[in-house]
Amino acid sequence: MSTLAIDYDDVVAAHRRLEGIAHWTPALRSATADARTGATLHFKAEHLQRVGAFKFRGGYNAINQFDTRQKAAGVIAFSSGNHAQAIALSARLHGIRAVIVMPEDAPAIKIAATRGYGAEVVLYDRYTQDREALGRELAESQGLTLIPPFDHPHVMAGQGTVAEELFDDVGELDTLIVPLGGGGLLSGCATVARARYPNCRIIGVEPEAGNDAQRSLASGKIVSIDTPRTIADGAQTQALGTLTFPVLQAHVDEIVTVSDAELVDAMGFMAVRMKQFVEPTGCLAAAAAFSGRVAIDERRVGIILSGGNVDWIRFAELISSSQGGT
């Protein structure tokens, strides 16, 4: 019997709960991307998901399993933006109260969207305050149920439905490349990949400035770091979760990193060549493929585009120096 937080059956159950609620996002193709990498790439377009990111899947799956008391009291979460919006919308769909703890320097578009979904937003300084401590304090004082952004079995299982859909659409893949912050998306997707196609190579990608997961898997224990300074705001995590880490240890083949410059290049390519508006964190996997950080020649490869929530002015500023992969 597995001691891991989730198994494939948990993801299948989550997929049933999300049926007709979450978007079944498309798997995009690009002849130019294939030519650039020498591989056959399938881009899972989670930037087209509800709230603009894969996070909706895990948030909804978690709240959907609340009992009567939890629903009456409401939910609280801490997030730089995408999990915030996911919980806010999921709470609204379930008719319950939502309180979201967000960094004051989170993209304004993410703060506005979270409030737009009806949540109460509490701001904090990500460099001097502990968001988890603040979230726990508010949860205890107001009787709210805390749903963390990645270290929760229902969240992890919900995120795994990204890979479930991708494999249903495109079949077996040689390699699956997944963005990595706290490990919720990667742990869920790796669980699916290992169950459905045991020989699929599973790669996680994090920003160079925040390679805590890479160091953790190398050392065999969770490594904590200072909040990384990177344009990939959705991956500015300090450590993997106690639930996600064992899943990554069990299923993931390799963790690689990409630079902010490589993220900008990938954003430019997605915009110019594929007409897709993808945020920096959402381009982690694509950047690893385009930059050669992962060897993928002549392989069938899945690329998870995890989100598209970035202010358009900031987006234009970032890609203005990029040639879009041309």
pLDDT tens column, 205-236: 999 999 999 999 999 999 999 989 999 988 98
Asked whether residue 325 is domain-assigned, the answer is no
- The residue ranges of the chain whose pLDDT is under 50 are 1, 324-326
pLDDT computed for residue 297 by the predictor = 93
Do 171 and 236 belong to one domain?
Answer: yes
Domain stops at, among 146, 177, 205: 146
What are the residue numbers of the active site?
55, 80, 206, 210, 212, 306
The encoded tokens of residue 220 equal 């065999």
Comparing C-alpha atoms, which of 259, 250, 181 is closest to residue 214? 181
Q: What is the DSSP string of 200-219?
A: -EEEEEEEGGG-HHHHHHHH
Do 164 and 208 belong to one domain?
Answer: yes
pLDDT computed for residue 325 by the predictor = 47
pLDDT computed for residue 2 by the predictor = 67
User: Residue 275: which CATH number?
Assistant: 3.40.50.1100
The amino acid present at 303, given as its one-letter code, is I
Do 101 and 159 belong to one domain?
Answer: no
Cβ–Cβ < 8 Å for 234, 263: no
pTM of the model: 0.94
Cβ–Cβ < 8 Å for 56, 50: yes
CA distance 243 to 60: 19
> CB-side exposure of 8: number of CA atoms within 13 Å?
11
Q: How many C-beta atoms surround the C-beta of residue 225 within 10 A?
A: 15
Alpha carbon of 146 to those of 108, 186, 194, 323: distances in Å?
A: 23, 21, 29, 43
pLDDT computed for residue 323 by the predictor = 54
Instruction: Work out how many domains the chain is built from and give that number.
Output: 2
Domain stops at, among 98, 124, 146: 146
Residue-wise pLDDT tens digits, 29-74: 999 999 999 999 999 999 999 999 999 999 999 999 999 999 999 9
Do 282 and 268 belong to one domain?
Answer: yes
Do 49 and 184 belong to one domain?
Answer: yes
CA distance 178 to 187: 10
Do 139 and 27 belong to one domain?
Answer: no
Asked whether residue 22 is domain-assigned, the answer is yes
Domain stops at, among 146, 166, 197: 146
DSSP classification of residue 229:
-
Phi, psi values for residue 301, rounded to 5° = -130, 135
Domain that holds residue 229: 8-53+152-319
pLDDT computed for residue 324 by the predictor = 47
